[in-house]
Amino acid sequence: DTEVTQTPKHLVMGMTNKKSLKCEQHMGHRAMYWYKQKAKKPPELMFVYSYEKLSINESVPSRFSPECPNSSLLNLHLHALQPEDSALYLCASSRPERTGQGRGYTFGSGTRLTVV
Amino acid sequence: DAKTTQPNSMESNEEEPVHLPCNHSTISGTDYIHWYRQLPSQGPEYVIHGLTSNVNNRMASLAIAEDRKSSTLILHRATLRDAAVYYCILRDVGSARQLTFGSGTQLTVLP
C-alpha cells in the first residue's frame, strides 16, 4: 500500500461547526504533515508530526487542532473557522530521518474545504 | 533555505520533449534537488531527485549543471496527462527541514 488516504474529499461547514479531517497511511512512515493550499498557490506547511509527536507548528491559529492517534493516522480538528480558511488541505507522510535522499513525501489527494 | 527560480508557465506540444528549467544559484553542497508535480485536483507527487549526477527514472530525467546552480527536468514525450504544476525544491541532506514549495511552473500540453 503506497497511498495516503484523506477523508472526506469535500467538506462544507459553517463558521460555528466542528468538523475533522482524517488522513491514513500504511507505508510505515513515521512523519506526517498537514499542508494548506489556496487556489493557484503552492502548498504551505501547517503541522509536522514525527513519531506521533508534534514537532512543528507553523504559527497556525488555534482553530486548527492536529492530532496523531497512532503511527498510521493523522487528524485535523476544525472549530470556528472563517471563510478565508476555505482551501485544499493536504496530508503527506515520509520517513522522518534527516536526509534529503529518498522518494520524499507521499501526498494524499486532499480535502476541499469550504467555510460558509 | 536556498531558493529556486522557475518560469511561471510553459507550453509544449503533445509527444514532444519538454525541458523545465530551475535556477538555484545559492544551492549548498548538501542540498538535494527534488522535483514534484501537482496534477489538477490532486496532491503533489514525487517525480525525481538528484544530488550531482544526472538521473533517469520511468517518469523523467533530471539534468544537473556541473556547478549545480541550475537543473532541468526532462519529460521525453509529453502527454496530455503531464499537464501539471511542476515544483523544483531543494532539501538539505543534513537537516530535517521540511518540504517547502516555491511557485512552480504550470505546464500546458497542447494536442
Taking only the tens place, the pLDDT of each residue in B55-100 is 999 999 999 999 999 999 999 999 999 999 999 999 876 655 678 8
pLDDT band at B30 (very low <50, low <70, confident <90, very high): confident
Mind listing the pLDDT tens digit for each residue in B43-55? Answer: 999 999 999 999 9
Calpha distance A71→B13 (Å, rounded)? 44
Classified as helix, coil or strand, B82 is helix
pLDDT of residue B1: 61
Rounded to the nearest integer, the mean pLDDT of chain A is 92
Mind listing the pLDDT tens digit for each residue in A8-53? Answer: 999 999 999 999 999 999 998 989 999 999 999 999 999 999 899 9
Which of B30, B92, B99 has its CB closest to that of A104?
B99
Calpha distance B36→B45 (Å, rounded)? 5
pLDDT of residue B92: 79
Strands B105-110 and B9-13 come out as parallel
Residue among A114, A115, A116, A106 at smallest CA distance from A6? A106
pLDDT band at A70 (very low <50, low <70, confident <90, very high): very high
In the numeric block, the cell 526532462 is attached to B74
Dihedral sign, Cα of residue B71, residue B2, residue B48, residue A8: negative
Q: Within an 8 Å CB–CB cutoff, is residue B92 touching chain A?
A: yes
Residue A96 has pLDDT above 90, yes or no: no
Which residue of chain B is at minimal alpha-carbon distance from A10? B41
Calpha distance A113→B29 (Å, rounded)? 40
Among B1-5, B22-26, B94-98, B104-108, which is the least confidently predicted range?
Answer: B94-98
Distances (CA, A) of A54 to A12, A17, A74: 27, 25, 11
Q: Which residues of chain A are within 8 Å of residue B48 when distances are taken between CB atoms?
A: none
**What residues contact residue B34 under an 8 Å CB cut-off, 6+ apart?**
A100, A104, B46, B48, B49, B88, B89, B90, B91, B99
Question: B95, A104: Cβ pair inside 8 Å?
Answer: no
